[in-house]
Amino acid sequence: MNSERGRISGADTVPLSVRGAAAWSWRLLLIAAGVAGLVWLLSQLKTIAVPVAIALLITVLLRPVRVTLQRWGVNRGVASAISILGLIAFVTGLIVLAGQSIVSGFQDLWDQAVAGFEEFLAWLSDGPLGLDTATLENVGQQAQDWASDQSSTLITGALGAATTVGHVLVGIIIAIFCLIFFLQDGRSIWTWVVNLLPVAARETVHQAGRRGMVTLSSYVRTQILVALVDAIGIGVGAAFFVPALAIPIGILVFVGSFIPILGAIVTGAIATAVVLVAEGWIAALIMLGIVLFVQQAESHILQPFLMGHAVSLHPVAVVLVVAAGSLAAGLIGALFAVPLAAVLNTVIQYLHGHDKFPELGTDDHVPLLRRRPSFADLPGTLLWTHRSGSDDAAAPGTAAPGTDAGRGEDPRTRGETPDR
């Protein structure tokens, strides 16, 4: 009995639950390290990664337009060019329209802001605080001194802004370049990516990717519709108080709505602040009520009804994902957090056996790239297996190496499949 106890090692005394926890722990630590490394790499390459991601989102948006033009008999390349140029013209029109509205209404808003500030100073002097003129002038002088002391910081910030503008221009060029090829030749690019994987995993990854793209398409279309409803609702409300700035406020709300939760809060606060400066507290409270009504209708009616099962993320998951994206990558992280989480949710569920889109089927196959022939497949070489007298010569009726049957390729995967 004592000899049996002597042969028991220390590992044998560890409970099974602790072993299981240890096995889970080191695997989770490796996964966390991999995710952290990927996030760090993307942050270092954000000038490239962000434009590529934006190009992918715009591709998903413009692809139905390109397909429709092709059905009307337009050449594929021409259809892609028309789709991209149409989007650029639409965005340029919005910018010009908003710019004209801001120029026409900014002077009135500035005059109202100055008058409101003077009234505020008068209230500080004549109101319950009873601050005299000397105290107010002293506060103003201190503010001027502080601004003078921060001049170097302001110059540094201006230089940083110039660098940022340069990065933005480079990003726009990369995004347009990628958009052209994603829209024109997206299927071939996806085929090349899938063929980098092991043969056994290609079909599964392809089917998971198809479902991920359906989820991304549903998210983009739904988010555009939701943002449009928010922009119209809040813009119409602002038109009652600041008609000259209603269009810029609506455009700002439309853009901000693509950042879930945070975008709605910030743009709603800006709209309320503009009305506060222009019309006072009562109008600002009414505007705040309009903003809250529109946002609640969007959150409780539009989002659940339109998103449906395509982007099945719980509101708690959305909040946590947006917060994590903001902490990891700021505004860009908040913008891409929800679509990334939605696509990963669909892909991971499919890899675990749950197909959210069974109607897609599995008839669409990615073509396999043919392997490079080896010396054993080339006639006239010493390694050729079919030379006369070779022990490895193929028996009658067997497939020769290098053919599709010899490689075991699925005949369905030969050739280019249609772009769907």
* Total residue count of the chain as it appears in this document: 420
The answer to the question of residue 338 being in a domain is yes
The answer to the question of residue 7 being in a domain is no
Asked if 322 contacts 262 with a C-beta cutoff of 8 angstroms, the reply is yes
Contacts of 378 (CB under 8 A, 6+ apart): 384
Q: For residues 149 and 133, what is the distance between their CA atoms, to the nearest angstrom? A: 24
Q: Are residues 176 and 208 in the same domain?
A: no
Q: Are residues 265 and 354 in the same domain?
A: yes
Q: Are residues 355 and 218 in the same domain?
A: yes
Among 315, 342, 362, where does a domain finish? 362
Q: Are residues 171 and 277 in the same domain?
A: no
Enumerate long-range contacts of 174-180, CB under 8 Å, 24 or more apart: 174/47, 174/48, 174/51, 174/52, 174/55, 175/51, 175/52, 175/54, 175/55, 175/58, 176/55, 176/84, 178/51, 178/52, 178/55, 178/56, 179/55, 179/58, 179/59, 179/62, 179/84, 180/80, 180/84
Please state the domain count of the chain.
2
Q: For residues 27 and 23, what is the distance between their CA atoms, to the nearest angstrom? A: 6
Q: Are residues 99 and 225 in the same domain?
A: no
pLDDT of residue 161: 53
pLDDT of residue 94: 80
pLDDT of residue 7: 64
Q: Are residues 80 and 190 in the same domain?
A: yes
Among 149, 174, 196, where does a domain finish? 196
Instruction: Please count the other Cβ atoms lying within 10 Å of the Cβ belonging to residue 282.
Output: 10
Written as tens digits, the pLDDT of the chain (420 aa) is: 445 555 666 667 778 888 889 889 999 999 999 988 988 888 888 888 889 999 999 999 899 999 999 999 888 889 999 999 998 998 888 888 777 766 666 666 666 666 666 666 666 666 655 565 666 566 666 666 665 665 555 555 555 555 667 778 888 899 999 999 999 888 889 989 998 988 888 889 999 999 999 889 888 888 888 888 888 988 888 888 888 778 888 888 888 887 766 777 888 888 888 888 777 788 888 988 998 898 888 777 776 666 655 567 777 777 788 888 888 777 788 788 888 888 998 899 898 888 888 888 888 887 776 666 655 555 655 556 555 544 444 444 444 444 444 444 444 444 444 444
Q: Are residues 190 and 204 in the same domain?
A: no
The answer to the question of residue 10 being in a domain is no
Q: Are residues 173 and 215 in the same domain?
A: no
The answer to the question of residue 393 being in a domain is no
pLDDT of residue 309: 54
pLDDT of residue 251: 85
pLDDT of residue 246: 82
Per-residue tokens: 78: 């021409």
Q: Are residues 176 and 224 in the same domain?
A: no
Asked if 241 contacts 275 with a C-beta cutoff of 8 angstroms, the reply is yes
The answer to the question of residue 264 being in a domain is yes
pLDDT of residue 39: 82
Q: Are residues 204 and 283 in the same domain?
A: yes
The answer to the question of residue 276 being in a domain is yes
- The pTM for the full model equals 0.68
Q: Are residues 130 and 272 in the same domain?
A: no
Per-residue tokens: 311: 């982007």
Q: Which residue range(s) make up the domain with 182?
A: 45-134+165-196
- DSSP annotation of 364 reads -
The answer to the question of residue 379 being in a domain is no
SS3 418: coil
Asked if 105 contacts 242 with a C-beta cutoff of 8 angstroms, the reply is yes
The answer to the question of residue 68 being in a domain is yes
Among 196, 214, 240, where does a domain finish? 196
Q: Are residues 211 and 356 in the same domain?
A: yes
